[in-house]
């Protein structure tokens, strides 16, 4: 019996019990569709997160106080003096720009609307370092810094919540913790980022925040220092230069740093690892439904063997070999799985597409990605499931004795 003949006979057998075959295929369809959709959602999330991080720039460094080393007992805060030392081209030639920052969640209100958002006290260099631009208005200048001006830059989400629009807002007045501030400009949309939404933010001059809104235990203390390296290739060298400067200023030995330096590449690697694990986890959960579908195939094939016992006996009596019977039932189970797999691929792609459209309609920059390897994985896995769960019923049919099978009622 050749493969083509086995396939035709398998199709005839499955067509004879359309409803039963359809319900069996449905289990595989759901399993494959779930695997495809889950992997697509996981890949989409990974692409969105890593794309947002990469969009900031690959030559950005974050410096925070504190260390992941539990043995460090005394932690000195970061100061403006630290930022000025890092900006010294003689001490850190690999550093291009430095931006100290103060951050806090504050209440901003305007026209009866109110929003709690992340407000940063920053210098003009911050916008260069973090790659922020404005759609209208202008960024802070040194004059604003020296005059401790009551001006504010707002993100597009803040503009939407307070005014219901993003244009024509320059010169409008908002209140930050009850204090009036003039809107100097509206930031470009940047979407989600490594530290939450980069659109739900507002910025005021560093000196204004320092003296009026975001006070710290000491006057020159800062929450973070953002550093831009000369190039992505010099990021490791810049990291070493910054570490050496802070160790000298904080008088900490190597291995007992009271600060932490993150690079964009560190964040990218970390988030890629996390999203990769989540994607595998989602795919593993979805694969369970494929196993359930495989058990359904085994169940239906065992029923088929029982119903066709006399047919099997007659085939054997007419000269069919054990191998022919085995191939026939394995072909049937494989066809059930393969047909279900093909339909499941289309359904999985459709689910991923719908999720992407819903995300787009809700304003979320998220696009599920159906990759070729996930399609191949689901197809191969569904075929293997059909073969694996069809072996026992096929073996049972092939081992039936012709005499016993012919006498079966």
pLDDT confidence of residue 6: 62
Query: Does residue 58 sit within a domain?
Result: no
- Residue 24 and residue 300 in contact, taking contact as beta carbons nearer than 8 Å: yes
Verify that 89 and 225 share a domain, yes or no: yes
Q: From the CB of residue 82, how many other CB atoms can be counted at a distance below 10 Å?
A: 25
Query: Does residue 264 sit within a domain?
Result: no
* Percentage of the chain exceeding pLDDT 90: 0
Three-state SS at 367? coil
Average pLDDT, the chain: 77
Where is the domain boundary, 227, 257, 287? Answer: 257
Is the model's pLDDT at 398 over the cut of 70? no
Query: Does residue 154 sit within a domain?
Result: yes
Verify that 299 and 380 share a domain, yes or no: yes
Verify that 12 and 98 share a domain, yes or no: no
Q: From the CB of residue 160, how many other CB atoms can be counted at a distance below 10 Å?
A: 16
Q: pLDDT digit string (tens) for 310-366?
A: 666 666 666 667 677 777 777 777 777 788 888 888 888 888 888 888 877 776 667
pTM comes to: 0.58
Residues 6+ apart with CB under 8 A from 129: 60, 97, 98, 99, 226, 227, 228
Length of the chain measured in residues: 409
Distance CA 51, CA 73 (A): 37
- Residue 173 and residue 110 in contact, taking contact as beta carbons nearer than 8 Å: yes
Q: Which two tokens stand for residue 282?
A: 């989602």
Q: Residue 366: what are its φ and ψ, rounded to 5°?
A: -140, 125
Verify that 134 and 223 share a domain, yes or no: yes
Q: How many domains does the chain have?
A: 2
Nearest alpha-carbon partner for 74 in 268, 251, 336, 295: 251
Q: From the CB of residue 323, how many other CB atoms can be counted at a distance below 10 Å?
A: 10
Residues 6+ apart with CB under 8 A from 88: none
Verify that 276 and 249 share a domain, yes or no: no
Query: Does residue 60 sit within a domain?
Result: no
Verify that 241 and 275 share a domain, yes or no: no
Verify that 316 and 200 share a domain, yes or no: no
Where is the domain boundary, 257, 278, 294? Answer: 257
Q: Which two tokens stand for residue 29?
A: 């369809």
Report, as an integer, the average pLDDT of 164-169.
Answer: 83
Verify that 273 and 249 share a domain, yes or no: no
Verify that 219 and 322 share a domain, yes or no: no
Is the model's pLDDT at 82 over the cut of 80? yes
Q: Which two tokens stand for residue 303?
A: 């029923």
Nearest alpha-carbon partner for 155 in 114, 194, 190, 179: 190
pLDDT-derived band at 407, boundaries 50, 70, 90: low
Tell me the β-bridge partners of 205: 122
Where is the domain boundary, 206, 231, 257? Answer: 257
Distance CA 121, CA 139 (A): 13
Verify that 275 and 345 share a domain, yes or no: yes
Three-state SS at 16? helix
Verify that 216 and 147 share a domain, yes or no: yes
Three-state SS at 103? strand
Q: pLDDT digit string (tens) for 123-163?
A: 888 888 888 888 888 888 888 888 888 888 988 888 888 88
pLDDT confidence of residue 194: 44
Q: Which two tokens stand for residue 235?
A: 């990021």
Q: Which of left, alpha, beta for 308 (phi over 0: left; psi -120 to 50: alpha)?
A: alpha
Burial 375-398 (b: 16+ CB within 10 A, else e): bebbbebbbebbbebbbebbebbb
What is the span of the domain harbouring residue 388?
A: 3-53+269-406
pLDDT confidence of residue 193: 47
Is the model's pLDDT at 120 over the cut of 80? yes
Distance CA 259, CA 176 (A): 31
Distance CA 21, CA 44 (A): 34
Q: Could you identify the residue written with the tokens 């005059």?
A: 147
Positive or negative: CA dihedral 229, 234, 237, 240:
positive
pLDDT-derived band at 91, boundaries 50, 70, 90: confident
Query: Does residue 124 sit within a domain?
Result: yes
Report, as an integer, the average pLDDT of 179-191.
Answer: 84
Query: Does residue 371 sit within a domain?
Result: yes
Query: Does residue 61 sit within a domain?
Result: no
Verify that 23 and 97 share a domain, yes or no: no
Query: Does residue 17 sit within a domain?
Result: yes
Report, as an integer, the average pLDDT of 63-76.
Answer: 66
pLDDT confidence of residue 51: 63
Is the model's pLDDT at 169 over the cut of 70? yes
């Amino acid at each position: 019996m050749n493969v083509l003949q086995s396939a035709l006979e398998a199709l005839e057998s499955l067509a004879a019990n359309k409803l039963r075959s359809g319900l069996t295929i449905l289990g595989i369809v759901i399993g494959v569709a779930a695997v495809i959709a889950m992997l697509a959602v996981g890949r989409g999330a990974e692409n969105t997160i890593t794309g947002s991080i990469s969009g900031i720039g690959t030559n950005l460094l974050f410096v925070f106080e504190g260390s992941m080393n539990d043995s460090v007992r005394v932690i000195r805060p970061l100061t403006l003096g630290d930022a000025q030392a890092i900006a010294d081209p003689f001490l850190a030639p690999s550093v291009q720009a430095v931006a100290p920052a103060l951050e806090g969640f504050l209440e901003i209100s305007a026209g009866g609307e109110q929003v709690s958002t992340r407000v940063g006290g920053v210098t003009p260099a911050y916008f260069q370092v973090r790659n922020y631009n404005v759609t209208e208005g202008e960024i802070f200048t040194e004059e604003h810094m020296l005059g401790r001006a009551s001006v504010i830059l707002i993100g597009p989400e803040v503009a939407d919540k307070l005014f219901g629009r993003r244009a024509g807002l320059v010169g409008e007045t908002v209140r930050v913790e009850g204090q009036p501030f003039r809107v100097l400009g509206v930031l470009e949309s940047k979407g989600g980022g490594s530290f939450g939404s980069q659109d739900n933010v507002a910025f005021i001059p560093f000196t204004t925040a320092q003296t009026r809104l975001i006070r710290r235990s000491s006057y020159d203390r800062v929450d973070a220092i953002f550093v831009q390296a000369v190039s992505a290739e010099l990021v490791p060298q810049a990291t070493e230069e910054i570490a050496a400067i802070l160790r000298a200023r904080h008088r900490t030995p190597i291995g007992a740093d009271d600060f932490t330096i993150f690079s964009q590449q560190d964040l990218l690697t970390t988030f890629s690892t996390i999203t990769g694990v989540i994607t595998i986890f989602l795919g593993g959960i979805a694969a369970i439904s494929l196993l359930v579908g495989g058990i359904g195939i085994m169940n239906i094939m065992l029923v088929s063997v029982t119903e066709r016992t006399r047919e099997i006996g007659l085939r054997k009596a007419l000269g069919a070999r054990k191998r022919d019977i085995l191939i026939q039932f394995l072909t049937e189970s494989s066809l059930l799985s393969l047909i279900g797999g093909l339909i499941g691929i289309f359904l999985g792609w459709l689910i991923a597409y719908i999720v992407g459209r819903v995300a787009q309609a809700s304003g979320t920059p998220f696009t599920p990605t159906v990759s070729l390897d996930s399609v191949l994985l689901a197809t191969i896995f569904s075929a293997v499931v059909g073969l694996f769960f069809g072996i026992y019923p096929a073996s049972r049919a092939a081992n039936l004795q012709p005499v016993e099978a012919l006498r079966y009622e």
